[in-house]
Amino acid sequence: MEAFTFFSIIVSSLILYACWAFIASKPAKNLPPGPPKLPIIGNMHQLDKIAPHRALRALSRKYGPIFHLKLGQVSTVVVCSPQLAQEVLKTQDLTFSDRPSMTTSELFFYGRKNIAWSDYGNYWRQMKKMCTLELLSVKKSRDPIQKMVNDIVSRATLGDVCKDRDELLDRAGAMLRTFNSFNIENYFPRLTILNAVTGRKATWLKMQKQLDVILERLLEDHRSRPTEDHEDLVDVLLRVQKNDDLDLPIADDNIKAIILEMLTAGTTSSSMTVEWAITEMMRKPEIMKKAQAEVRAVVKGERATEAEIQKLNYTRLVIKETLRLHSLPLMIPHECREDCVVNGYDIPAKTKLIVNLFACSTDPDTWEDPDTFKPERFTDTTISSTGADFKYFPFGAGRRICPGMNFAIGSVEYILTNLLLRYDWKLPDGMKPHDIDMRDTTALSTLPLNPMKIIPVPLAKFK
């Protein structure tokens, strides 16, 4: 009898455990719809590695403007319409203001001590405010402009005296390429054995160490040199660290994470905007001619001045249209801080949120002929890039909006204007505008799948 009781307790416990495990593993009752999931990989096979923004836009045409994917172990909700982008980035902005943790963001950004990958909270607020004020404000955005975006950002961040500048930029660039590529480890965060199997975490650690040595040296050099009139961002961060001026004190690792962020976030997106603008205009020579004519009529000297740039209405439309088609197509992923409901669907806390900015900017209900490059579409609109209108928000919106927006627009306007002023552009022999390969790939920014060689021909008067 006793044996029977003992046996029935064990069996009922097992049944209870099985029921609990089943209920616990069952997804929330009312998740958004989505394609069927395969065991282990979920929907990873549907996330086209080359152009995920296009694959996700295609899925939204089948499953609707909000859908659910399981990417490895990561439960992900994708939003693809301006209305729902407004819901998650404005109405429920706070709920979606965290960032998901990833192996690569933890490793390369000193435990997510940069701005873009840190969770919402006092530290993020403090660092974003300081960088916006000290490096990225409208007032300061024009004066450090020198030659190219790399130069602009690196000089504003590191100052003029940085003997390791080239090596630092090379290594930061390599880190960014690794960070932006498809890293399976990020999709199986709880399967730590994967790190040992792929062996890539060890390689990344080595890359990070090499970068760290240069960044350490940079801090030492800044600390030991006499204070100058013009402080760069590193000087500012070291000063506030020394004076203990901040609510949340910062250590050297925080400063290094911010320097890396400014050198990486600040360069690719702006320089890609310039490259895409030129490429789009090469495809449509009449647009190139119109922009060149405007710039060459307005700019009188060897380089455009601030006042002259302000008069370039058509060039500004070209930049707006370039950003509509070629911003950060999937933005930076957000993460839900608590259970919530979007469009009638349950979204559990910790769900990753992807806002498909590309799908929103090419929404056929909002834009006529949405995939075609037409700067004129902005002629009679007052629509701005500030994230107030969810038809067009190339820098994001809400709390997590890009702090480099004004800096980037200033740099892109300056560089593009001077390129239009000083050069004619031609295609390699035998190539016609319609031969240009416009296919893109996503690595945070949109990059051309096959970068094209466009040949600059300096105008005689600037040779």
Near ligand HEM in 321-360, by CB under 6 A: 323, 327-328, 331-332
Can you tell me which residue has the tokens 């399976």? 184
Instruction: Select the residue interacting with ligand HEM from 31, 51, 59, 116 (CB under 6 A).
Output: 116
Q: Which residue's C-beta sits nearest to ligand HEM? A: 404
Q: Which is nearer to ligand HEM, 208 or 411 (CB)?
A: 411
**Interacting stretch for ligand HEM, rule CB under 6 A, among 34-42, 80-88, 178-186, 266-274?**
266-274
The separation between CA 263 and the C-alpha centre of its own chain, rounded to angstroms, equals 13
The nearest distance, CB 407 to ligand HEM, in angstroms, is: 5
Structure tokens at 373: 């490059």
Instruction: Select the residue interacting with ligand HEM from 396, 441, 442, 446 (CB under 6 A).
Output: 396
Q: Which is nearer to ligand HEM, 200 or 253 (CB)?
A: 253
Q: Is 204 in the site for ligand HEM (CB under 6 A)?
A: no
Q: Is 260 in the site for ligand HEM (CB under 6 A)?
A: no
> Which residues fall within 8 angstroms of residue 411, CB to CB, at 6 or more apart?
141, 145, 149, 152, 270
Instruction: Select the residue interacting with ligand HEM from 54, 113, 400, 422 (CB under 6 A).
Output: 400
Near ligand HEM in 274-293, by CB under 6 A: none
Instruction: Please check if 131 is assigned to a binding site.
Output: no
Q: Is 403 in the site for ligand HEM (CB under 6 A)?
A: yes
The nearest distance, CB 330 to ligand HEM, in angstroms, is: 9
Q: Is 402 in the site for ligand HEM (CB under 6 A)?
A: yes
Q: Is 407 in the site for ligand HEM (CB under 6 A)?
A: yes
Measured in residues, the chain has a length of: 463
Question: Alpha-carbon distance 354 to 363, whole Å?
Answer: 16
Q: Is 395 in the site for ligand HEM (CB under 6 A)?
A: yes
Q: How many residues bind ligand HEM (CB under 6 A)?
A: 28
Instruction: Select the residue interacting with ligand HEM from 81, 154, 273, 406 (CB under 6 A).
Output: 273
The nearest distance, CB 436 to ligand HEM, in angstroms, is: 21
Binding mask of the shown chain, residues 129 to 158, with x at each position contacting ligand HEM by CB under 6 A: -------x----------------x-----
Q: Is 70 in the site for ligand HEM (CB under 6 A)?
A: no
Q: Which is nearer to ligand HEM, 157 or 188 (CB)?
A: 157
The nearest distance, CB 225 to ligand HEM, in angstroms, is: 23
> Which residues fall within 8 angstroms of residue 151, CB to CB, at 6 or more apart?
none
Q: What is the rounded (10 degree) CA torsion for 368, 373, 378, 384? A: 110
Structure tokens at 313: 């209405």
Instruction: Select the residue interacting with ligand HEM from 87, 261, 280, 294 (CB under 6 A).
Output: 261
- Provide the greatest CA pair distance for the chain: 105
Question: Alpha-carbon distance 266 to 174, whole Å?
Answer: 15
Residues forming contacts to ligand HEM in the complex (CB under 6 A) are: 115-116, 128, 136, 153, 261-262, 265-266, 269-270, 273, 323, 327-328, 331-332, 394-396, 400-404, 407-408, 412
Q: Which residues are annotated as a binding site for heme?
A: 402
